[in-house]
Structure 1
Amino acid sequence: MINRLVSITELEAAGRTPEDELDIGSVALILAAVANPEARQEPYRRHLKKLSAEVAAYVSGYDGPVPLSLQHEALVQVIHKRYGYVGTDDCFDDIEAANLMRVIDQRRGLPVAIGILYLHAARHVGWSAAGVDFPGRFLLRLDAEDGRIIFDAFEGGTTLTAPDLRRALKAMEGPTAELDPIHYRKASFRDVLLRLQNNIKVRQLGARQPSAALKTLGTMVALAPDHADLWREMGMLHTRLNQIPAAIAALEECLLRGVSEPIRYQTSALLQKLRSRLH
C-alpha cells in the first residue's frame, strides 16, 4: 500500500510537469508500479537507460546530424532486432500488454506500450519522435532535417508510405476516406500515456471490473488533472458504484474546468440528483 501511495504521489508530480520535461518511459514505469506495488522500478529504469545508450552507440560513428533513415535504423536494430520487442495478436486480449514492466519482461505488448520504448530512446538521444493517433493503430513518426518517417513499432518498426496509410484508413473508415494531416498529427507524451492507461481501463470495464477501472482512471486524473472529461468519467463510475460523495466531488472538479455548455448542463443536472440522494 505504501509503495502504491508513493507511486501515486510521483504521478501527481508528473501531472504538474510541463510536456517538454515529461520523461515518458519513467512515467510509464510509475504507472506500471501503481498496478504492481511490490515490483521494483530500478531494474526497468536501467533497461530503459540501456536501450537509449545502445541506440546512441549505434550512430556514434556518424559525423554530423544523423540522417532520418539512420535514426530509424538505429531504433529498430536495437529495440526490435537486438532485444526482440514486437507485437503479437494475443496482446490485444492481455491487460498486462499495457503494463510497461510486463512488456519489458515479455518483450511483447500493445502498440502504444512498445511505442513508448521507441519514444523514450529517441527523446534521450535527442531526436524528434512522437506518437500518432492514426485510426485503428497507434503509430510513430520521426522528424529530421531530411524528412519524416511514419512507422509501426508493433510490426517491428515497419515504415509506412502514404499509399500504405491510405489503404489502412480506407480499411478502417470505408472506401471514401482520404488521408488528412490530422491523421499523422503528433500526440503529446501525456496523451500517449493516457492512451496506455485507457487500454487498461477499457479492458477492465469489459471484464466487468468497475472498481479496478476506477483505480486506473485515478492514475489518469493524477497524470492529467486538467482534463475535465476524466473527472466526469470518474464521477460516473463512482455513481455506478454508489459512491455518492466521491461522485459529487469528481463532478464538481469537472465543472471547475472548461467544458461545453451541453456537458455543463448534463453534469449540473446529475449533481443535483446526487446531492438530493444525500438528504
Structure 2
Amino acid sequence: MSSSVPSPTPSPLDDDLIRLGLVEDQEIVLDEAALALALLDRPEVDLDPYHRTLEEIADSLALAAGETMVAADQAEALSAVLAQEFGFLGDEETYDDPDNADLIRVMDRRRGLPVSLSILYVAAARRLGWHAQVLDVPGHVLVLIGMDEAPVIIDPFAGGARVGAERLAALLQAHSPAEEPVTQVSAMPNRAVLIRLLQNQASRAEQAGRGRRALTLYERMTAMAPEYAHAWWQRARLELVDGDVTTARSSLGTILEITREPKLRSRVSQMLEMLPPP
C-alpha cells in the first residue's frame, strides 16, 4: 500500500479497522473481519458463539464433501450445509433491513443480503483449502467455486443454487446500464467485499435520514481501505452536510493524493474551489 496515503484518525473502537487497513488483502479472513466490523456497533456481544458456529459449518462441510476437489461437488456441499443444514438464505421479505448487512445479525437470523451470505460461503470454502471467490455482478453478488477446470458459479441468496450461462447473462442484462453493458464479471478483493458490506449499510442509513450513521460507516471504510477514493468522496460530502468544512477539505485533499483518475480529480478540485477559505 502506498506510503503517501494519510492515516485516518482512529476512534477508540477502530483498532480492528486500522489492522484491516494495514494487512495484505489476501491475509483477510472474510467472515472474521465481517464479524469484527459488526462488533463495532455491538461491543457488548460475545463473539465466541459465532466463531464456534463458523467452526461447525466448516466441520459439516468437510464431512459433506469428503476429499472431493471437483468444483460441482464442492458447490453442492456448500448449498447443503449453509442453506439446508444451517438455514442461511436470502431475506426476500425485508431485503432492505440493515441487519442483513451486519454479520452478527445475519448469523442470528439466518437471513442476509447476497454479499453477507457470500462472505459465509467463501470463507467456509477457503477454510477447507478450496478455491472460492466473491463475484461482483451488477446489482448482485455471486460466488465462484473452483479454478481452471469446470468452475461453478452459485447464488448464496438463492440457497446456493447453480448459476448457468443463461442466468448470468440475464443478470448482467437486467442490472448493467444500457449505454455501457457489462459482459463479464470479476472476482472481488477481500477489502472490496467488506466495503460492499458497509456500503449497503451506509446507503440504507442515508435513505432512512440517518446521515450521521452513514458518515460513521464511510469513516470506517476509509480506515479499513484508505486507498478507496469513493468512500473519501462520500465522507467529504456528508462532512459538508454536517457543516464540518475543515474535515471535508482534508478528505477531499486525500482523494487528490490517492487517485490519478482525471474526472474524479477535476470534480474534487472544483469542490475545493467552492469551499470557503480556511
Common topology (TM > 0.5): yes
The secondary structure found in structure 2 opposite 1:139 is strand
Structure 1's 255 and 178: CA in aligned 2 closer, same or farther, altered over 3 A? closer
Structure 2 counterpart of 1:251, which letter?
L
The secondary structure found in structure 2 opposite 1:35 is coil
Deviations 1:43-90 (A, max 9, x none): 212221221222123233x3xx52112211221111111101101312
CA contact (8 A) 2:173 2:182 kept: no
Q: Determine the structure 1 residue equivalent to 2:53.
A: 47
Structure 1's 166 and 55: CA in aligned 2 closer, same or farther, altered over 3 A? same
| d(CA) in 1 for partners of 2:228, 2:276 | 23
Unaligned segments of structure 2, at least 5 residues:
1-9
- 2:15 corresponds to 1:9: yes
Superposition map of 1:215-234 within 5 A: 215-234=216-235
Question: Aligned-pair RMSD on alpha carbons?
Answer: 2.2
The TM-score with structure 2 as length reference comes to 0.89
Q: Determine the structure 1 residue equivalent to 2:154.
A: 151
The secondary structure found in structure 1 opposite 2:152 is strand
Please identify, of 121-130 and 160-169, the stretch whose mean Cα deviation from structure 2 is larger: 160-169
| d(CA) in 2 for partners of 1:174, 1:212 | 29
Count of aligned pairs: 269
- 2:170 corresponds to 1:167: yes
The TM-score with structure 1 as length reference comes to 0.89
| d(CA) in 2 for partners of 1:91, 1:27 | 24
The secondary structure found in structure 1 opposite 2:37 is helix
Q: Determine the structure 2 residue equivalent to 1:102.
A: 105
Q: Determine the structure 2 residue equivalent to 1:26.
A: 32
Structure 2 counterpart of 1:211, which letter?
R
Structure 1's 137 and 169: CA in aligned 2 closer, same or farther, altered over 3 A? same
Greater RCO, CA 8 A, separation 6+: 2
- 2:70 corresponds to 1:67: yes
CA contact (8 A) 1:87 1:156 kept: yes
Q: How much identity, in percent, do the aligned residues show?
A: 30
Structure 1's 20 and 174: CA in aligned 2 closer, same or farther, altered over 3 A? closer
Structure 1's 259 and 240: CA in aligned 2 closer, same or farther, altered over 3 A? farther
Q: Determine the structure 2 residue equivalent to 1:130.
A: 133
Structure 1's 30 and 7: CA in aligned 2 closer, same or farther, altered over 3 A? farther
| d(CA) in 1 for partners of 2:36, 2:198 | 12
Structure 2 counterpart of 1:15, which letter?
G
Structure 1's 251 and 195: CA in aligned 2 closer, same or farther, altered over 3 A? same
Q: Determine the structure 2 residue equivalent to 1:212.
A: 213
- Structure with higher helix content: 1
CA contact (8 A) 1:59 1:70 kept: yes
Q: CA deviation at 1:178?
A: 7.5
Q: CA deviation at 1:147?
A: 1.2
